[in-house]
Structure 1
Amino acid sequence: MLNFDEQRFLRIQSGAVAFASHFDQVIGECIKAGADNVFFLGTGGAAILMQPAAQLLQRRSRFPVFIDMPAELVVTGSANLTSRSIVVMPSLSGTTKESVAMLAKLKEIGATVITLVGHEKTPLGQGGTHAFVNFAEDDTSCESFYMQSLLIALSIMKHNGELADHQRMVDEFFMLPALLLDVKRCFEPSAAAIAENIAAADYHIVTGAGNAWPQAFYYGMCILEEMQWIRTRPVHASDFFHGTLELVEPGVSVLLFKGEDHLRPLADRVEDFAKRYTDKLTVIDTAGLALPGVSADVRQLLSPVLLATVLERVSAHLEVLRDHPLTTRRYYKRVAY
């Protein structure tokens, strides 16, 4: 595979799922002690990666869940954020300005803070009530954060009496690092072709539904915009027909990410429309990616993980085609803002 270290990938993703029993212990202790809600408080891309876990709890659990922006919450506060709250705070660098400021507020409130970071000797790597450090970098962080947050959500459901077969599902997560590597290998030829399609246009509508939507949002904002300086219009498939459809015409690129949860028909609707009005429709469908031994109910949770793992391959080809390294920035962490 192009510019890819297989052993590094396996090490990082194995590190992410290795936290499963520790997550479960911490969550169990919190709920037993009277925790009455959970907040997912990330900033930027890390915040987007928490959305599938938050959505899972919103739709399948009675345990109250909130997802908010630290930059706003540190100013406004929340009536629901108390000493009985569990707060999940991801930050790859461990130094994200808005999250560090939020951490100080959380300590004043007395909430239990679970930090998910890539670097230990940082404010978030050392400042959480429970700090989970799994080294990762931009090209490996999506899968790591997705899996960690989903494991936390599953533990909450277990300890809230809503998930009888928790251990079976966790056991299947332990299969994922090797399976995801196989997915990457198989997808490599498709990744090269998709990268050529993306490189051929300077504007893309990026869309998806359900738990595939966060990866569509993330890929448009954090990869194509931030790392490739390509203009995008991320739009949820539910909103596609309330404005964005009018921008579709021959030559306009539409990137559609399809997952396997119950919201898949919303993506089908976009696909049916777009293929009639543009010749630049690109569809990435997780249903065509093999995960032998993984149950259907777990697969439904993993659509964003699968999308992240194949899109990393697309990005690797894209940076070469465009002669634009993914690490190149003009402003991000380079100028004051």
Structure 2
Amino acid sequence: MLNFDEQRFLRIQSGAVAIGPSLDAVIGACLNKGAENIFFLGTGGAAILMQPAVQLLQRKSRFPVFTDLAAELVVTGSANLTEKSIVVIPSLSGTTKESVALLAKVKETGASVLTLVGHENTPLGKGGDHAFVNFAEDDTSCESFYLQSLLIALSILRHRGEIDNCDQIVRELEQLPQLLLEVKRSYEDKAEGFARILAGSDYHIVTGAGNVWPEAFYYGMCILEEMQWIRTRPVHASDFFHGTLELVEKGVSVILFKGEDSLRPLADRVENFAPAYTDKLTVLDTAQFDLPGISAEVRGLVSPIVLATVLERISAHLEVLRNHPLTTRRYYKRVAY
């Protein structure tokens, strides 16, 4: 595969799954001590990658779950953030400015802080009450963060008796690193074609629904905009029909991500509408990929992970086609802001 280290990928994703028992032990201890809610708080892409776990808890658990923008919460605080809160702060670098400031703010409340980082000797790697370190880099961090946050959500459901097959789900997740590698291999021959579509326009409407909507938002903002300087309009498939549809006409690129959770019909609605008005609808559907041994329920849970792993292959070809390395920046961490 183009510019890809298979063994590094397996180490990182297997490492994410291996953190599961430790995460479960910490969550269990926090709940036993009377934790009353959980906050998923991060900055930029890392925060977006927590959203599928937030959705899962909002829809399956009565345990209160909150999310906010780190920079705003530092300024405003929250009436729900107390010493009885669990706070999850993800940061690949462990040095994200807004998240480091947030850590100090959260510490003042006495909340229990779990940090998810890629590097230990960093402010967030050292500063959390419970720091979970799984080395990753930009091209492998999505799957890692998705897996870790999913394991946290499943742990809450299990300890609260709101799920009866958690152990089976986790066993299936343990198979995922190797299966994701096979997904990458199976898509490699098609990845350049999708990359050419992305390279062929300077503007894309990127949409999805359910737990793959965060991946649509993430890929538009953090990859196409930040790493490739391609203008995008990420919009939820529900909101697509409340404004954005008026921009759809011949020649306008619409990129639709489809997952396998219960919100898939919202994506179907976009897929049924767009071809009548644009000749540039492109669909990436997780249902097209084989995941032997993974149940329909778990396929729905891991749809954003599957999308992320396929999109990494597309991005690898995109940077070559455009002669624009994914690491090239004009402003991000290069100038003061």
Letter in 2 for 1:165: N
Letter in 2 for 1:280: K
Q: Please give the residue correspondences for 1:13-24 in structure 2 after superposition, counting only pairs within 5 Å.
A: 13-24=13-24
Alignment-derived partner of residue 107 in structure 1: 107
Moved over 2 A (4+): none
Identity of aligned residues (%): 77
Alignment-derived partner of residue 281 in structure 1: 281
Q: Does 1:330 align with 2:326?
A: no
Alignment-derived partner of residue 244 in structure 1: 244
Alignment-derived partner of residue 94 in structure 2: 94
- In the alignment, structure 2 segments of 5+ residues that lack a partner are none
What is the deviation of 1:165?
1.4
What is the deviation of 1:163?
1.2
Q: Does 1:177 align with 2:174?
A: no
* Partner Cα distance (1:114, 1:296) in 2: 30
Q: 1:59-118: per-residue Cα shift (whole Å, max 9, x none)?
A: 111010001111000111111000000001000000011110110111111000000000
* Partner Cα distance (1:196, 1:70) in 2: 35
Q: 1:2-35: per-residue Cα shift (whole Å, max 9, x none)?
A: 1100000000000000001101100110001100
Alignment-derived partner of residue 214 in structure 2: 214
| TM-score normalised over the length of structure 2 | 0.99
Q: 1:157-202: per-residue Cα shift (whole Å, max 9, x none)?
A: 0011101111111111110000000000001122111001111111
* Partner Cα distance (1:263, 1:307) in 2: 16
Letter in 1 for 2:196: E
* Partner Cα distance (2:215, 2:304) in 1: 6
* Partner Cα distance (2:138, 2:144) in 1: 10
Alignment-derived partner of residue 125 in structure 1: 125
Letter in 2 for 1:141: S
Q: Does 1:34 align with 2:34?
A: yes
Alignment-derived partner of residue 144 in structure 1: 144
What is the deviation of 1:36?
0.7
Letter in 1 for 2:299: R
* Partner Cα distance (2:249, 2:69) in 1: 35
Letter in 1 for 2:126: Q
Q: Secondary structure at the match of 1:283?
A: strand
* Partner Cα distance (1:286, 1:76) in 2: 39
Q: Does 1:48 align with 2:48?
A: yes
Letter in 1 for 2:107: K
* Partner Cα distance (1:48, 1:105) in 2: 21
Q: 1:113-172: per-residue Cα shift (whole Å, max 9, x none)?
A: 000000000000000010000010110000000000000000000011101111111111
Q: 1:199-225: per-residue Cα shift (whole Å, max 9, x none)?
A: 111100000000010000000000000
Alignment-derived partner of residue 66 in structure 2: 66
* Partner Cα distance (1:167, 1:20) in 2: 11
Q: Secondary structure at the match of 1:284?
A: strand
Alignment-derived partner of residue 3 in structure 2: 3
* Partner Cα distance (1:66, 1:285) in 2: 29
Q: Does 1:261 align with 2:261?
A: yes
Q: Secondary structure at the match of 1:98?
A: helix
Q: 1:34-70: per-residue Cα shift (whole Å, max 9, x none)?
A: 0010000010000000000000000111010001111
Q: Please give the residue correspondences for 1:69-80 in structure 2 after superposition, counting only pairs within 5 Å.
A: 69-80=69-80
Q: Secondary structure at the match of 1:250?
A: coil
Q: Secondary structure at the match of 1:178?
A: helix
Q: Secondary structure at the match of 2:88?
A: strand
Q: How many residues align?
A: 337
Q: Secondary structure at the match of 1:278?
A: coil
Q: Does 1:153 align with 2:153?
A: yes
What is the deviation of 1:285?
0.2
* Partner Cα distance (1:295, 1:30) in 2: 30
Alignment-derived partner of residue 318 in structure 2: 318
Letter in 1 for 2:121: K
- In the alignment, structure 1 segments of 5+ residues that lack a partner are none
* Partner Cα distance (2:27, 2:75) in 1: 28
